[in-house]
Structure 1
Amino acid sequence: MKKSIALIAALAALALPLSAQAHRAWLAPTSTSLSGAEAWVGFDAGMSNGVFIPDHAAMNLGGLVITAPDGTTVQAENMNRARYRSTFDLHLTQQGTYRVANVMGGVMVSYTQGGEQKRWRGTEAEMAAAIPADATDVVATRSNSRIETFVTLGATSTHALAPTNEGIELVPVTHPNALATGEAATFKFLRDGQPLANQEVTIARGGSRYRDAPEEMTVTTDADGAFTVTWSDAGMYWINTSVRTAAEGGRMASNAQYNGALEVLP
């Protein structure tokens, strides 16, 4: 079958989903397709053993960016961080599709100064001034994480889905709020605006707490970064891919990850 089926706090949260997939990061809406002149949607966000099950840690939402159908940025309301999950509401006032993303990134540096091992975290722009001139054994790693979902009021639209060309991004060929069981859906992954080719993608259906075995599959992107999935069951699905690259040719090492939530309707 063809490929079917505050910054330091943010960086600390970013390290969790990148650590050997120990816990899975997710941002899930209460609804993805709504009707009417306006509507409200609630969101849960956390890191957990099973997707969409708040059993490990709440997500830091310091990088939350909500893009409205017209491309403007809108604010979340009623934000709260509990022990196992963070929550917020979004008031939908425009017709079309909203992109709701928690985007985190920065640079983590380890170095030696005066025989003592030290660490620093911050932005790439701050790094040159922050690392002492007499530092040795400098190892820098750039990190980027995008955790997102999509919701639509009325008819779907695509303006908010345009890539930013930073980190790993999902570019829908099939609209993310037009998914149904038995139908094939195609998406593309980009990294810094370029196709993420030959990349493994994990897809898992939520609700595993009430099943004997988790429903999970792995697909691989083609040369254009594209992959196709035919949905066998309705539900909320978690999509993940991540890339680690070593320092090479003057470029620092990097970690990048994508975690998405998509709803498939009957």
Structure 2
Amino acid sequence: MTRLKTALGGLALCLITASAAAHVPFLKPNQFNVLNPRVQVESAFTEFPFQADFAMDSPNFSITAPDGTQAAIKASAKTRGAVYLEPTLARDGTYRISTGVRPGPTYKAVETADGKLYFSDDIARKQGAATSLKYFSSADTYLAKGEPAYTQRPSNAGVEIVPLSSPNRLMLGGELRLRVLRDGKPVPNARMVVVADNEHYVAHRDGDLYDVENVRDSNLRADAAGEIAFRPSQAGLYLLFVTLHEKIDPTLWESHNASLTLEVGLPETKSAHP
């Protein structure tokens, strides 16, 4: 079962129990540092990054150019497993690819007297006041063509994970600082789930990524300014994921979810040959 609990500054506390694993959104480019024009970005939901489980379409796909201009992106292909984007990078610099805030389903739920929220199949076995849970998701990734010349460009809408320096030059042994925002404001003590690509082939995992009570050694916490220092433990792809839950009124809770996909490179080494 999945338990979700908010422990974030300014948001109401919530415990949600579900009968099945929830999925997290991601965008995965075939190139983070672009070397050829055949750029493709995969958009999907997963429980085991980065294996696409079902497609994540969005009416708000966008690309933000190095000069800050934003344009919509149309999907070039859609399957049941994933949606594919083929953005055009006209000039050198850093590009932000985003799904935008994507409204999801609303689940029927009951809130028990001890503050727990149950939905899906668990409703039949729990007594409580009728309520509901509305799901929102977003995913971002960054592409660099030539020199990144990175500038922070938050959208100030929904939950965002904003790199404070270029995310396209992160190397093993290095550090990337990030800030978690909600509608443009820092989120103190935000919990960030850090998932390495294919880590489920290394060790079995208890619980799912959407479970914000799930304890993982790789989890990170933001400071009072909403900032987090990410120091990768290996090279490869990473999914960073944040969930915030908020009680709107007695009849409605909201779940806001955001992810950022990064690539961590190996530092250059001097050749042993002259």
- TM-based fold match above 0.5: yes
Q: What is the CA-CA distance between 1:94 and the residue it aligns to?
A: 1.1
Q: What is the CA-CA distance between 1:140 and the residue it aligns to?
A: 8.3
Please tell me the residue identity of whatever aligns with 2:245. R
After superposition, give the CA deviation of every residue in 1:219-262 in whole Å (9 maximum; x if it has no partner): 100000011121121111001001111126x9x74331111101
Please tell me the residue identity of whatever aligns with 1:242. T
Task: Measure, in 2, the Cα distance between the counterparts of 1:216 and 1:179.
Answer: 21
Retained in 1: the 8 A contact 2:61–2:74? no
The partner residue of 2:157 within 166, 169, 193 is: 166
User: Which 5+ residue runs of structure 1 have no aligned equivalent?
Assistant: 1-17, 111-136
SS in structure 2 at match of 1:92? coil
Between 1 and 2, higher relative CO (CA 8 Å, sep ≥ 6) is seen in: 2
Counterpart residue number, 1:8: none
SS in structure 2 at match of 1:103? coil
The partner residue of 2:174 within 180, 183, 186 is: 183
Structure 1 or 2: more helix by fraction: 1
Retained in 2: the 8 A contact 1:28–1:149? yes
Q: What is the CA-CA distance between 1:171 and the residue it aligns to?
A: 2.1
Counterpart residue number, 2:143: 151
Task: Measure, in 1, the Cα distance between the counterparts of 2:20 and 2:65.
Answer: 33
Change (3 A) 1:145 1:212: closer
The partner residue of 2:55 within 41, 53, 58 is: 58
Change (3 A) 1:224 1:139: same
Counterpart residue number, 2:125: none
For 1:229-244, list aligned pairs within 5 A: 229-244=230-245
Change (3 A) 1:212 1:138: closer
Task: Measure, in 2, the Cα distance between the counterparts of 1:216 and 1:85.
Answer: 30
After superposition, give the CA deviation of every residue in 1:44-87 in whole Å (9 maximum; x if it has no partner): 11112201112x21111322011111222345466111121111
Q: What is the CA-CA distance between 1:157 and the residue it aligns to?
A: 2.5
SS in structure 2 at match of 1:60? coil
Counterpart residue number, 1:245: 246
Q: What is the CA-CA distance between 1:207 and the residue it aligns to?
A: 2.3
Retained in 1: the 8 A contact 2:161–2:259? no
Does residue 193 of structure 2 align to residue 202 of structure 1?
yes
Q: What is the CA-CA distance between 1:23 and the residue it aligns to?
A: 1.3
Structure 1 or 2: more strand by fraction: 1
Change (3 A) 1:211 1:200: same
SS in structure 2 at match of 1:91? coil
Please tell me the residue identity of whatever aligns with 2:186. P
SS in structure 1 at match of 2:218? strand
Change (3 A) 1:216 1:87: farther
Task: Measure, in 1, the Cα distance between the counterparts of 2:40 and 2:93.
Answer: 17
SS in structure 1 at match of 2:220? strand
Counterpart residue number, 1:15: none
Does residue 19 of structure 2 align to residue 32 of structure 1?
no
Please tell me the residue identity of whatever aligns with 1:254. E
After superposition, give the CA deviation of every residue in 1:178-215 in whole Å (9 maximum; x if it has no partner): 21101122111111111110111101011236434469
Task: Measure, in 1, the Cα distance between the counterparts of 2:68 and 2:135.
Answer: 26
Retained in 2: the 8 A contact 1:69–1:96? yes
Task: Measure, in 1, the Cα distance between the counterparts of 2:237 and 2:86.
Answer: 18
Task: Measure, in 2, the Cα distance between the counterparts of 1:34 and 1:19.
Answer: 41
Retained in 2: the 8 A contact 1:105–1:142? no
Retained in 2: the 8 A contact 1:108–1:140? no
Counterpart residue number, 2:118: none
Q: What is the CA-CA distance between 1:143 and the residue it aligns to?
A: 5.5
